[in-house]
Homo-oligomer: A and B are copies of this chain.
Amino acid sequence: MNDVAAAAGVALKTVSRVVNEERGVNEATAERVRQAIALLGYRRNDGARVLRRGRTASIGLVIEDVADPFYSLLSRAVEDVALGNGSLVFTGSSGEDSLRERELVLAFCARRVDGLIIVPAGDDHGYLVPELAAGIRAVFADRPAGPGLDVDTVLCDNTGGARAGTAHLAAHGHRRIAFLGDNPAIFTAEERLRGYREALASAGLAYDAALVAMGTPQQERLHADLARLLALPDPPTALFTGNGRTTVTALRALEALDARPTAAGGIAIVGFDDFELADMLSPAVTVVAQDPANLGRTAAELLFRRLSGETGPAERLRLPTRLIARGSGELPPP
């Protein structure tokens, strides 16, 4: 910048004015400065600018895993909103590891991002308190913050969705409905289990712990759980799966167990989360769909509203789910 000023024969401040397109600069002078800028290949250093101005025009996004379609859709929506607000986004995947979540968040804070969108892996966010006090805004998405943090949150209607999916199976005559969920330590997994139980109760069906299996959606584990379920004296005739990953993995496990449903019949399935090609399988898979892009957009818009000064108590939004009947959830019991 100094060089540009010297080359154009003006003061630093004038260069600054031209670069930032402030008005009140003689057009001839401005042109001279622009020439010098072009000649020297000068680019404004936004880092220094930030240091002086306080706002970084960047936000941090911490999710579980960008490679998961659910989160990649969410990311894209956040990105778009951020760009629309002139902001860049740091993305980080926590991999469901609360330590890594914390490291990422703190690294973003040290970079003085204006705000954060967090899909938390852990449930202790005490480490955020000083940052929030220092003025960094945060919005939690998909899962709430740990206790003691009063912060904007956008969740999906997990319980209602699971209730609707389970009720759908019950309405098609199933009385033995198994629940395959994610690790119960995960907020959404637990809420969905609750919805499942509520739907059973509404349908007058007894809750049977033997029909419930929860854990990380790994092939081997699901294979073992499904083998156990199918070997039960009174095996399930329907399956409610607690998230996209679990649905797909369960389908694979059923295939391996030679128990995958066909269009003609077999175990009925409803899955939480829509997924690519669910409509092309046979039978096509009935799902309770969330809208991850909507989740990301809503969270980001809320964040930017806060950043532009909107005050008021922490918001807690719930996004609806939608049951999409495609075939696998409408198979009758044998």
Binding site for B on A (CB under 8 A): 41, 43-48, 50-51, 56, 58, 65-69, 72-73, 75-76, 79-80, 83, 88-93, 106-112, 130-131, 133-134, 248, 251-252, 255, 275-277, 280-282, 293
Given contacts A66-B79, A68-B72, A277-B280, 16 further A-B contacts (CB under 8 A): A43-B106, A43-B110, A45-B51, A46-B110, A47-B47, A47-B50, A65-B76, A66-B75, A67-B293, A69-B276, A72-B72, A79-B91, A79-B92, A90-B90, A248-B280, A252-B280
Name which residue of chain B comes closest to A46, CB basis.
Answer: B110
Give the chain B neighbours of A281 by CB distance below 8 A. 277, 280-281
Give the chain B neighbours of A69 by CB distance below 8 A. 67, 69, 72, 276
Also in contact, A89 and B88, with CB within 8 A (given A41-B134, A69-B69, A112-B46) = no
The answer for the CA separation of A56 and B130 in the assembled complex, in Å, is: 24
Whether the Cβ atoms of B47 and A56 lie closer than 8 Å is: yes
Whether the Cβ atoms of B72 and A66 lie closer than 8 Å is: yes
12 A-B pairs (CB sep. < 8 Å): A45-B110, A65-B76, A66-B66, A66-B76, A76-B93, A79-B93, A80-B93, A88-B107, A89-B91, A251-B280, A252-B280, A276-B276
Q: Name the residue in A46, A72, A80, A112 with the highest tally of chain B Cβ atoms < 10 Å from its Cβ.
A: A72
Give the chain B neighbours of A106 by CB distance below 8 A. 43
